[in-house]
Copies of this chain bind each other. A is one copy, B any other.
Amino acid sequence: MSSTECRPFLPLDNDSIYKVETVVILETQVDDMTSQAIAYTTEKLLQNGALDVYTQAITMKKSRCGTLITVICDRDHQSICEQILFQETSTLGIRFRLQERKILDRQICEVMTEYGSARVKIARREGFETVQPEYDDCAKLARSQNIPLTQIQQAVFLAGLALLKSKS
């Protein structure tokens, strides 16, 4: 977290609250890997530049259960992500396509609560702004002070709302 992320929102272009960018979607399905190996692959993909990775339970050939792995990355990371899939999974084939997506502008700001400080994500949506406490920060405070997570999230959320009001 750097404080510079808690900046003013970008000026709106053409009345639009989002920008459009192109991402690469990689997909492959496997039925002979363990859950452990799939989790390891996900972790390695994210550490090597994947924007997002998700897996889904599927029913495959001969009605066997399997897993569909989906990787979202930018074009600069397509090659390394494909390499990891061919190294860490049992797949023999990867489907790929380009896809556009619309992305909201968002800020990461730090707020202070009675339990300590935590980050909140502030997103500018259609006509209003939302505050989302960062899970990792809240979980860290909850663990170290043995306070229910929801209590922490509630305090961080209220502090984020107060910050939002002070800025408008």
Contact = CB atoms under 8 A, between A and B. Distances in A.
Interface in A1-52: 17-18, 23, 25, 29, 31-42, 44, 46, 52
B92 A103 contact: yes
Contacts of A116: none
Contact of A34 (B18, B32, B42, B101): B32
Number of copies: 6
B63 A52 contact: no
Contacts of A25: 95
Contacts of A54: 29, 58-61, 66, 68
A38 B67 CA distance: 14
Contact of A23 (B53, B56, B95, B142): B95
A95 B139 CA distance: 27
B93 A102 contact: yes
B132 A106 contact: no
A151 interface: yes
A95 B101 CA distance: 4
A98 to B, nearest CB: 9
16 contacts: A31-B34, A31-B36, A35-B66, A36-B139, A39-B63, A44-B143, A53-B60, A53-B61, A57-B57, A57-B65, A72-B95, A90-B130, A90-B132, A92-B121, A93-B101, A93-B103
The 5 closest A-B pairs by CB, nearest first: A63-B63, A54-B58, A95-B101, A35-B65, A36-B135
